[in-house]
Amino acid sequence: MQAKHIIQIDDLSRNDIEEIFSLAEYYLQLNKNEVVQKYRLDSFTQINVFFENSTRTLASFELAGKKLGGIVQDIQIATSSIQKGETLIDTALTLNAMRPDLLVVRHSSSGAANLLSEKVKCSVLNAGDGSHEHPTQALLDFLTIKHRKKKKEGLIIAICGDISHSRVARSNIALLSKFNNQVRLIGPSNLLSASFREMGLETYNRMEDGVRGADVIMMLRLQKERMKGGFIPSRREYFNRFGLDNQKLSLAKSDAIVMHPGPMNRGVEIDGIIADDLNRSVIQEQVEIGVALRMAVLHLLVDRKG
């Protein structure tokens, strides 16, 4: 793999992505205990520095690093106790002095992971920076799609919800478009900025129109922590218009899959019955594939140094 840092999807070439996917497939089987031979990297040190709350992403990175045999240290810093700018640079210099091989960073400010990568010697992996990007989430989403759909091009993928504030949406748009898929964005106009249309993407304010004929429906949470003021009228009205229920799902292809990066708000963006329907929902599979995908990315970044 060419990339030293993974801050955004565009840091990766198609070849890099193929390499990550084939190693992730191997780790996926290994994690299911279907491969006898184990592969461990030489000792490496990974620091997960999370300035923003996280459950699954932090656990996934921690598990991935430990399964590879790394020394993994979590540092969780409450957003309230940290100031932007110089404090972040100070933190970067402190972490750099601990000589890690990898820093996995989550921060509420877009651009924070990039700033850190300019100040440290080791590889930096962006685990979500503000509304900007969350590249490993998009990679695990795409690998899940590939598993279920048995292809990765020519699919219609509808991303629905709070697109404007979503780093998951931005990374997915970049990745899915790289592989010639048709991406449709669905949401209320105040959560779907005009810039997406200007980028040439299809946008829909009526969910029924956006999900029609889709192969994949990706639901997103309302990111209240990034909203200033009232963006939605009421949860009930939001669910009626943009929540995924059986009636709206019936408009997609009959074998359409439903995805969600979590955390999920049942009854707000998705009906709990759909989320639990294992014929449709691949939400648990996303989590499982996520560990293998992160093992592959960590492995390739660590190996690259050698």
> 200, 185 in Cβ contact below 8 A?
no
Q: Residue type for 23, please?
A: L
Beta bridge partners of 160: 186, 219
Q: Work out how close the CB of 58 gets to ligand NCD at its nearest, in angstroms, rounded to a whole number.
A: 9
Q: Work out how close the CB of 133 gets to ligand NCD at its nearest, in angstroms, rounded to a whole number.
A: 9
Among 107, 132, 152, 167, binds ligand NCD (CB under 6 A): 167
In this complex, which beta carbon is closest to ligand NCD, that of residue 57 or of residue 123? Answer: 57
Q: Work out how close the CB of 92 gets to ligand NCD at its nearest, in angstroms, rounded to a whole number.
A: 21
Residue 134, interface with ligand NCD (CB under 6 A)? yes
User: Inter-axis angle of helices 167-178 and 135-149, to 10 degrees?
Assistant: 50
Q: Work out how close the CB of 265 gets to ligand NCD at its nearest, in angstroms, rounded to a whole number.
A: 9
DSSP-assigned letter for residue 218: E
Among 261, 291, 294, 302, binds ligand NCD (CB under 6 A): 261
Residue 56, interface with ligand NCD (CB under 6 A)? yes
Residue 170, interface with ligand NCD (CB under 6 A)? no
In this complex, which beta carbon is closest to ligand NCD, that of residue 134 or of residue 280? Answer: 134
In this complex, which beta carbon is closest to ligand NCD, that of residue 48 or of residue 57? Answer: 57
Q: Work out how close the CB of 165 gets to ligand NCD at its nearest, in angstroms, rounded to a whole number.
A: 9
Q: Starting from the edge strand earliest in sequence, which strands make up the sheet with 45-50, in order? A: 71-76, 45-50, 102-107, 123-129
Among 145, 262, 274, 292, binds ligand NCD (CB under 6 A): 262
CB burial string 24-38: b at 16+ within 10 A, e below: bbbbbebbeeeeeee
Q: Which helix (H) or strand (E) holds 14?
A: helix 14-31
Residue 57, interface with ligand NCD (CB under 6 A)? yes
Q: How many residues bind ligand NCD (CB under 6 A)?
A: 11
In this complex, which beta carbon is closest to ligand NCD, that of residue 15 or of residue 76? Answer: 76
Burial tier of 250 (Cβ tally within 10 Å: 0-12, 13-18, 19+): exposed
Burial tier of 288 (Cβ tally within 10 Å: 0-12, 13-18, 19+): middle
> 61, 294 in Cβ contact below 8 A?
yes
Contacts with ligand NCD, residue ranges (CB under 6 A): 56-57, 128, 134, 137, 167-168, 221, 223, 261-262
